[in-house]
Structure 1
């Protein structure tokens, strides 16, 4: 009887140790993705980003082409607090939006677009999906929009949950920007990327002429996944944290420059932009 109890205790101890080890492994994921964005058939990028993943924190840096590059814009997502923060370095201000508020903005934009006949396709477009597993490629095609994604499975599958959050949160952010592209088609693409368990290596979009882009659009982004974070990467994260804490919070209208008279005393950071 005593032997059986001892075996049970040992089994519980082993299971507990395994769980602790698994959790420690899951929360110690550090990696980065370097992104370059190309317009049309251009050979040189028009923009580039470095996205740093450290446990539950994502720091996305839009950088210029200097050597070393300067940080132009910073976006921070805290998965634990379910909040995204945008830093405007030129004005030293920040905007904070909760996940729930961002979802409300997306729903509001969906209702607005649904009422405009010439833009309804942005919400209602139906995509045909083709999976080319031998080339790690997905193609999504509708009457107006065509996406092509090439991807890779990360060496560590623990990257995928936080990367999936990154895809959706940063796509939804466009709903907070009057000049942003509506997120609905890209959110549909995100579903396919997450389903495949991939991190994209390239994403191409072609859109025919329509009421939103009369001349159509063709864009491509390339993505390089790098395991681990360098000392320089960690320093960038610490600098972003200090700016996060040091910049005063403003509301959405002021941050987006929609209402230049908006009071800096309004600290909600979640006012919906009117159109």
Structure 2
């Protein structure tokens, strides 16, 4: 899937509504995330699109399952070790990211850029890579055409909302650069196969050049294991104790650590 990492990621309209993940066949996305030239991933996830819902499962790292219900306009977050859940609506996310945008615009450097990114776009038709560049933060991405054209819109919708969700995690950038990349790929009716994010040292955020790579594998059929994962998530949604979003995120806020995806 689309992973935001420490760096996710774009002006939000109050009329924005999520697109239900309907009208397409079930499909899955495996995502591996790498730092720099490392061979071993720092994050692995499998994201399942089924029955109008999107389920995001970690394969390594913190055991948090994310369920996106576009029709109802909400995320359900499931903390497996603590057996708790929290619901965050898309309207709440829009309000939060609007506040993040205003706050970031008052800062210098990378955060100000991420609040209102101005990229130079360039497509290299020879090798299929798309480049969105700036002096602070740049994206390179290689897209592929999905089996069904509507899949690109369904995937982009989830990727956008997930980028906004990741922006609420301590230490993460505003989502707007990633939203711009998602928009550009969707205009080409593509989904990402490879994404490379570079944060330059002069951004004064990373302190050194930071490169984050993600590799996405799309498959147009769910496995039996995938369907068991979905059943398990449904059980957790029914059984876990409901808590507020603030209480759910309390350990992250106390640690002050960004999302490792």
What range is the shorter-chain TM-score in?
Answer: 0.7 to 0.9
Deviation at 1:176, TM superposition (A): 2.0
In the alignment, structure 1 residue 244 sits paired with structure 2 residue 240: no
Deviation of the 1:87 alpha carbon: 0.9
In the alignment, structure 1 segments of 5+ residues that lack a partner are: 1-25, 66-70, 262-275
Q: CA deviation at 1:224?
A: 0.4
- Is the contact between residue 24 and residue 150 of structure 2 (CA under 8 Å) also seen in structure 1? no
Q: 2:169 aligns with which of 172, 177, 183?
A: 177
- 2:3 aligns with none
The partner residue of 2:72 within 81, 91, 94 is: 81
**Structure 2 residue 146 is the aligned partner of structure 1 residue 150:** no
89-98 or 176-185, which moves further after superposition?
176-185
Task: Tell me if the contact between 1:27 and 1:55 (Cα under 8 Å) persists in the aligned partners.
Answer: no
RMSD (Å), alpha carbons: 2.0
- 2:93 alignment partner, SS class: helix
Moved more, 245-254 or 78-87: 245-254
Match of 1:192 in 2: 184
Quote the Cα distance in structure 2 between the aligned partners of 1:104 and 1:229.
34
Shift, 1:181, TM fit: 3.0
Instruction: For 1:90 and 1:222, locate their aligned partners in 2 and report how far apart those are by CA, in whole Å.
Output: 27
Q: What TM-score do the two structures reach when normalised by structure 2? A: 0.83
- Equivalent residue for 1:272? none
| Structure 1 counterpart SS, 2:166 | helix
Alpha-carbon distance in 2 for matches of 1:94, 1:150: 35
What is the CA distance between 1:259 and its match in structure 2? 9.3
Q: How does 1:8-157 map to 2 (within 5 A)?
A: 27=23, 29-64=25-60, 72-118=63-109, 119-157=111-149
Please name the residue that 2:206 is paired with: 213
Paired with 2:46 and 2:64, the residues of 1 have a C-alpha distance of 11
- C-alpha change, 1:260 and 1:157, in structure 2 (3 Å) is closer
- Out of 151, 155, 167, the residue aligned to residue 163 of structure 1 is 155
The structure whose RCO (Cα within 8 Å, separation 6+) is larger is: 2
Deviations 1:151-190 (A, max 9, x none): 1001122322221111101000023212333212111111
TM-score scaled to structure 1, two decimals? Answer: 0.79
Q: Offset of 1:258 from its aligned partner?
A: 5.7
Counterpart of 2:242 in 1: which secondary structure? coil
Where 1:257 maps in the other structure, the secondary structure is helix
Structure 1 runs (4+) greater than 4 angstroms displaced: 258-261
What is the count of residue pairs matched by the alignment?
231
Residue in structure 1 matched with residue 221 of structure 2 by the alignment: 228
Cα offset, 1:134, TM superposition: 3.9
d(CA) in 1 for partners of 2:232 and 2:88? Answer: 21
Q: How far apart are the structure 1 equivalents of 2:162 and 2:156?
A: 10
